[in-house]
Amino acid sequence: MKKILISLFIFMGMMSCKDYLDIVPDDIATIDKAFNNKNSAKSYLYTCYNYLPDEGSVNSNPALCGGDEVWLYPKSYGLGSFFGSTWMYDLAHGEQNANNPIGDYWMGDRQGKNLFVGIRDCNIFLEKIEQVPDIDDFEKAQWIAEVKFLKAYYHFYLLRMYGPVPIIKENLDITSDTEEVKVERRPVSEVVNYIVSLLDEALADLPLMIENESTELGRITQPIAAAIKAKVLVLNASPIFNEGGVFDDLVSKDGAKLIDDTNNAEKWVIAKEAVKAAIDKCHEAGHELYYFKEPRVISDSTRLKMNIRGAVTERWNSELIWGSTFRSTDHLQRCSQARLRSADIGNHNAKNLLAPTMRMAEVFYTENGVPIDQDNTWNYAERFKTSTAGTEDRYYLKKGYKTANLHFDREPRFYASMAFDGSIWYGGGRFDDNSTYHLEMKARQFAGMTATERISITGYLSKKMVNYNNVVGDGSDYTIEYYPFPIIRLADLYLLHAEAANESGAPATEVFEFLDKVRERAGLEGVEKSWEDFSNNPEQPKSLVGRRKIIRTERQIEFAFEGKRFWDVRRWLTATDEMNTVIKGWNIFEESTEDFNKVVSIYNMEFRRKDYFWPIQTSEILVNNKLVQNPGW
């Protein structure tokens, strides 16, 4: 990869970003000029940040609507005019291809960013920073650490998408010949070791926390670097890179395997140590699980719901380790926003679109903290029949409203995450716990199927992703409170620790140590007590395989609609089982309670073995004869 004028890549992918990411030089002619003083070098530092994927965007983050957590109204009804680009949604429809890949972060096409250009910019920064004359050693060390982190993160992002990738340690000289600039994919173990080494180097010179929060939130800290290191090592220990024989056909041009043909239990021990070190670093920096602390007089039920919603949508809360500072959560919130009254039907900012699937409605626990098909006090067989909400349900369901049994006696995270026919919507301008909005989602009702194309195709909406302070006003008014999309929050590390502890053979007390803290925040008892008291399978928490299923379900529940499941089922190698499925929802075209509350099939989803890894664009394979394509593409 050759050194070129800075103007070529400084203007690639520029977008409106918050605070420091807005500062991009527009008058620098050459690379050397970019490093002739501190201010221009700082601008180049911010340019290195600009390649970070926009994790909060439903149009560019494949994990938000490219899987089976949410579904959208058919594109044939003009979905694009309300939703924006539907390319990531096309992934869920099996439309990925090698000629023009969706979400191409290798070449930077179809809502992707060229992360190799980002890595090249990082390399240029690291090469040139020493020539800046007016920067002190302390600040220079921090900037170098930030860029080393970004370089590691871009390699990690590519690794997670494509599997084994080239390692770009430094840029080649402009005199390099054609063969020298042809990169080749390296074995996963080598890529992981390189990423971890960069992160270790960065950790030493990063700050524990941000001092100037008004201008620098989002810049890299020690907790962020430690958390990403933990996630890299968990990925490396997971079945996709640690289960022999799965991808034996992924080999280099000379026939060498690019994924280790092993089942190495030691990888989980290393991962557990890294996760625990990251948790300790986060605690040292003051991170803790979020609890709703607004001094409003509300019920305990509502406060539990707000613990979950606020952990995602309250700006820079105590649980957030790293958040995306792009403003794309504006659109995410609009797509998730329900119409809360009849007057909202014509308000196109309440898009009423991002629809959780029936699968997600069923994955949440009962109020007793166990799966709905295991709770010996809950009538699983009659979950699709209907009942009328009583006074005891009033903080979750509209009193006197008739809705599906599936919506009764569920855990607080269900009500915090899912909006549905008859459900309570706290906030939106109404903060009296006894005078809240509720949704009416049957056909011709204000939140249901109307003449507009802004429709929840499943009869659910992802309420969790909407800040409770947002207000749908008259006409097209919508007062929205932006929040940084959570790339990593502390609960993520807590549940990764449970997973790594379990897979490394640690005792159950250690496995559930942090997992039970996440459950406690959601108002649930610990795993062992809940299963002993209420499960028809009380022995499940006593085996490694049983605990594995519990931990994986906890991750799906806690991080519903945050894009974690999309990557989790890939690294677990369970996507071919779980995502070859029928997408289901309620019968939204019906007006009566009885007809609406019938489960209908919406789409037959298909996940193939080749979908575990992104395809490399065919044109790139043709240009570079050292590259090999991923299996199946």
Q: Report pLDDT digits (tens) over 219-262.
A: 999 999 999 999 999 999 999 999 988 999 999 999 999 998 88
In angstroms, the CA 361 to CA 615 distance is: 32
Q: How high is the pLDDT of residue 326?
A: 80
Is residue 214 over pLDDT 80? no
Instruction: Residue 369: count other Cβ atoms within 10 Å of its Cβ.
Output: 21
Mapping DSSP to helix (H, G, I), strand (E, B) and coil, where does residue 84 land?
A: coil
Per-residue pLDDT averaged across 151-175, rounded? 93
Which residues share a beta bridge with 586?
A: 599
Q: Give me the count of residues in the chain.
A: 633
Average pLDDT of the segment spanning 593-612: 98
| Cα 434 from Cα 345, distance rounded (Å) | 24
Residues 362-404: pLDDT tens digits? 999 999 999 999 999 999 999 999 999 999 999 999 999 999 9
Q: Burial letters for 161-199: b for 16+ Cβ neighbours within 10 Å, e otherwise? A: bbbbbbbbeebbeeeeeeeeeebbbbbbbebbebbbebb
* pLDDT score at 478: 96
- Write down the architecture of domain 6-50+114-286 according to CATH: Alpha Horseshoe (1.25)
Q: Tell me if 415 sits within 8 A of 396, measured CB to CB.
A: yes
State both tokens at 617.
């664009």
Q: What is the pLDDT of residue 216?
A: 83
pLDDT band for position 77 (cuts 50, 70, 90): low
335 has pLDDT over 90: yes
What is the band of 181 on the pLDDT scale with cuts at 50, 70, 90? Answer: confident
Task: Give the mean pLDDT of 264-277.
Answer: 97
Q: Do the Cβ atoms of 458 and 356 come closer than 8 Å?
A: yes
Quick one: which of 105, 141, 150 has its CA closest to 123? Answer: 150
pLDDT, mean over the chain: 92
Which tokens hold the place of 72?
């959208």
Angle in degrees, CA 152, 268, 251, rounded to 5: 60
pLDDT in tens, 545-555: 999 999 999 99
Q: What pLDDT is stored for residue 27 in this prediction?
A: 39
Better-predicted residue by pLDDT, 556 or 27: 556
Q: Are 17 and 36 in contact (CB under 8 A)?
A: no
Inter-CA distances, 402 with 140, 254, 358, 378, 548, Å: 63, 65, 18, 18, 37
Between the CA of residue 440 and those of 401, 412, 462, 469, 605, what are the distances in Å?
9, 20, 15, 21, 28
pLDDT at position 497 over 70: yes
pLDDT of residue 175: 65
Dihedrals phi, psi of 195, to nearest 5 degrees:
-60, -45
**What value does the mean pLDDT take over residues 317-338?**
92
Residue 5 has pLDDT above 90, yes or no: no
What separation, in Å, do the N-terminal and C-terminal C-alpha atoms of the chain show? 25
How many Cα atoms occupy the beta-carbon half-sphere of 373 within 13 Å? 4
Supply the pLDDT for residue 307: 98
Whether 571 shows a pLDDT value over 80: the answer reads yes
435 and 424 Cβ atoms separated by less than 8 Å: no
- CB proximity list for 384: less than 8 A, separation 6 or greater: 404, 405, 406, 597, 598, 599
- What was the pLDDT predicted at 173? 75
Nearest to 476 by CA among 370, 582, 587, 345: 345
